[in-house]
Amino acid sequence: MELRKIKQITSAFVLKGETVNAMRYGNGHIHETYVVTTMTKTTSKRYILQHINNFVFKDVEKLMDNIVAVTTYLLKETKNRGGNVEKECLRLVPTKDGAYYIKHEGGYYRMFYFIEGATTYSVVEKPEHFYESAVAFASFQKSLSTFDATTLFESIEGFHNTRKRYNDFLASLELDKLNRAKDIPDEIAFIKAREKYVDKIVDMLKSGEIPTRVTHNDTKLNNVMIDDLTEKAAAVIDLDTLMPGSLLYDFGDAIRFGCNPTSEDEKKLDKVVFNIDLFETYAKGYLSVLHDTITDIERQNLAFSAILMTLECGIRFVTDYLDGDVYFTTHYEGQNLARAHTQFKLVTDMEALFDRMNDIISRI
């Protein structure tokens, strides 16, 4: 995007100084993100500008209502406990009209204050970082434990409804519009053999057996900023998928992502190994914060949630393959299948180590 256009957009927000520079920022696949620098006579300041992807998030108003509600709540909570809001909180920049996003030439834009002195990591370079990400997401969960999650808009309908994901797979399999099902009998059998998993958390949420909480729904390491000096967790970012759900979704998805040492589409499956030591590292960090907040039933299902979220991800990759690779971006033929294979290998490993995983949780 040209600097001229960026200046037009940023002029609608309450910024310190004049916009003098903007550069593409980060590796996100959903939004177009820039780091914007402003200057006064004496100082410079940085902000994050995002062009919101309203193809993925079709109701921008409700999406932003979610983020405003949660960030406002967290800001107040952080102030009350004497925390550093500039380091610990994702903060929206208001517009001059008192809103938190604008529409410009058909596009939607928002701005955040840049969190200085902290870095995100795409892979687990140090176990300590993974531990800190667990502390961050658990602290996020604990801080919002009294927030009414049912007031949040479901920004992606049925996102972690594993029964729906399974039924979508069956529908795509029956339609088989590209005649691909004949080539993947093993993948189909793998999914069908695990249908017994898909209702468990959904049903417990529905019955109230486990509480409905605010869920982040994208609990990857790269959504936690790590302080450059202390190497402690600073802030949780990327709140687009805030929704009501179960903390088991967040825990399980973090394990799915962080305990796999390889790329998402690694073809040499002997390299794909579930790292149970990292599972223990994450569980220690998570429960060090939530030990007095999490319920017994939630705690008893932490290990299971890792299997379920990994299976769900694999189901989504196979479903998209059957549909013609229309949802996930692919760079070569069969990439969605390769992605599914890594998830299914992890599921198999977790199933074999399930008793050990539960023992770890019990011991912690």
In the predicted structure, residue 28 carries a pLDDT above the cut 70: no
Answer yes or no: CATH 1.10.10.350 is held by domain 3-116: no
Q: Which CATH number fits domain 127-363: 2.40.160.20, 3.30.450.90, 3.90.1200.10, 3.40.309.10?
A: 3.90.1200.10
Distances (CA, A) of 204 to 194, 208, 245, 306: 18, 6, 11, 16
Cβ neighbors of 296 (< 8 A, separation 6 or more) are none
Mean model confidence pLDDT for the chain: 94
Place of tokens 């993948």: 187
Q: What percent of the chain has pLDDT over 70?
A: 99
pLDDT tens digits for range 142-201? 999 999 999 999 988 888 999 999 999 999 999 999 999 999 999 999 999 999 999 999
Mean pLDDT calculated for residue range 320-335: 92
Instruction: Supply the pLDDT for residue 1.
Output: 82
Number of H helices, E strands in the chain: 13, 10
Instruction: Say if 3-116 and 127-363 have the same CATH topology.
Output: no
Are 240 and 58 contacting, i.e. CB atoms less than 8 angstroms apart?
no
Instruction: Supply the pLDDT for residue 157.
Output: 85
* Domain range summary for the chain, segments of one domain joined by +: 3-116, 127-363
In the predicted structure, residue 229 carries a pLDDT above the cut 80: yes
**Which range, of 29-38, 88-97, 130-139, 239-248, averages the lowest pLDDT?**
29-38
Q: 126 in helix, strand or coil?
A: coil
Q: Does the predicted TM-score (pTM) go above 0.75?
A: yes
Gap between the Cα atoms of 31 and 108, Å rounded: 10
Q: What percent of the chain has pLDDT over 90?
A: 88
